[in-house]
Amino acid sequence: MEMVNLYINGKEVAAPTGSTVMQAADLAGIEIPRLCYDPDLSALGACRLCVVEVKGNRLLPASCVTPVMPGMEVFTESPAVIEARRTILELLVANHPLDCMTCDKLGECKLADYCYQYGVKESPFAGGEKHNYKCDDSNPFIIRDLNKCILCGACVRACEEMTGQDNLSYLYRGFHRKATTAGDVDYAESDCVFCGQCVAVCPTGALTEKTMAGQGRRWEIERVRTTCPFCGTGCNFDLAVKNGQVIGVLSNPDSPVNGRSLCVKGRFGWDFIYNEKRLTTPLIKKNGQFEAASWNEALDLIAQKFNAIKDEYGPDSFAALSSARCTNEENYLVQKLTRAYMGTNNVDHCART
């Protein structure tokens, strides 16, 4: 791979040809603020918070869309850059509700983090007109508050590039511009498939998980990695756990199979674990009635019955049906039990074609 050498804050950095300044900085461990940039999405250069100073360039280019050049000298924290970023943040919060004290996204809101970093407490531009959009909670899984939208376009690109649904786009112009559904209808009336990709990439509180509303701030939540039980794909995600209770599901970009991508069942179908009709302990029928039993007691009974069937009627009297809702590892164990222990090839799977 051909490399390009440049200098960032006086440090020589080598980056692959075709990289952007931001990617080169990330490789060197140099942090550049970003709101619209996401490594899983196409670069847009909309928020301009990632501006840098390039020697010989009188403008401050956005580092997420500026390609590296040999010998380029970049400064990420010069006085001009810091002033520009502070002004950009002041413009953003001029029309942004400052209700961080009650916002569910606090602790994972990039806008709040950068305002803290650059000392922006209020905006000198706050005297102008403000949006007053109605909060859309028609979607059973997502709360959409466009008053907190900063028009970074992450949700639009995620819906198009990660999901392929194209449910979101930009409408209107100027002050009235918004990232919304076709025809600006509510989420529930749109072509939304409720996958939640838009929520996963949103850097502010404009899009939040409805099931997690008021359940806890991000720093109160323990993230526990697990595998989705709904099919055999093996998608990973983090369970959001507070006080020993699951309150939601959060994407994990390090998931080897799916990254942050999840379907509606994987992201929002977790609440069955607390359904009052769910069996939480084995049941054994005694005298015509089901009674709770320990796992050891239940497994011993199953082994006894299987052995009795095999001894009396032979191995081929046994058959196993597996499910696509199980993981690949669980399905492997079902067929191994059937073939290796029970001694028959009578095993099938609901997804066989």
Closest Cα partner for 112 from 197, 239, 6, 219?
219
Helix, strand, coil proportions of the chain in percent (round to 5)? 30, 20, 50
Ranked by mean pLDDT, the top range of 203-207, 231-235, 328-332 is 203-207
**Per-residue confidence at 114, pLDDT binned at 50, 70, 90?**
very high
Q: What is the mean pLDDT of residues 322-333?
A: 84
Short-list 78, 70, 63, 69, CA closest to 23: 63
Q: How many CA atoms lie within 13 A of 67 on its CB side?
A: 7
Residue (of 188, 194, 192, 110) closest to 148 by Cα position: 110
What confidence tier does 353 reach under pLDDT thresholds 50, 70, 90?
Answer: low
**pLDDT, position 328:** 80
**pLDDT tier for residue 198 given thresholds of 50, 70 and 90:** very high
The reported pLDDT for the residue numbered 232 is: 75
Confirm if 33 and 85 have CB atoms less than 8 A apart. Answer: yes
Element of type H or E holding 297: helix 295-313
Tell me the C-alpha distance between 58 and 7, whole Å.
18
Per-residue DSSP letters for 303-326? HHHHHHHHHHH-GGG--EEE-TTS
Continuous segment of H or E residues that includes residue 5: strand 3-8
DSSP run (H or E) holding 336: helix 328-336
- Considering the chain, what is the average pLDDT of its residues? 93
Q: How far apart are the first and last CA of the chain?
A: 43
The DSSP H or E segment spanning 168 is strand 168-171
Amino acid at 151: L
How much is the pLDDT for 127? 80
Q: In the chain, what percentage of residues exceed pLDDT 90?
A: 82
pLDDT digit string, tens, across residues 260-300: 999 999 999 998 899 999 898 999 999 999 999 999 999 99
Whether residue 85 is predicted with pLDDT greater than 90 in this model: the reply is yes
pLDDT surpassing 80 at residue 11: yes
| pLDDT surpasses 80 at 233 | yes
Residue 105 CA, distance from chain mean position = 13
Domain segments of the chain as ranges: 3-77, 221-273, 314-353
238/246 Cα distance (integer angstroms): 10
pLDDT in tens, 123-166: 999 888 889 999 999 989 999 999 999 999 999 999 999 999 99
CA 88 to chain centre: 26
Architecture of the domain spanning 221-273 = Single Sheet (2.20)
Specify whether the CB–CB gap between 292 and 282 falls below 8 A: yes
Q: Which fold has domain 3-77?
A: Ubiquitin-like (UB roll) (3.10.20)
pLDDT at 15: 95
Section 237-254 average pLDDT: 94
Considering 44-53, 95-104, 226-235, the range whose residues carry the highest mean pLDDT is 44-53
Q: Which residues contact 227 (CB under 8 A, 6 or more apart)?
A: 234, 235, 236, 327
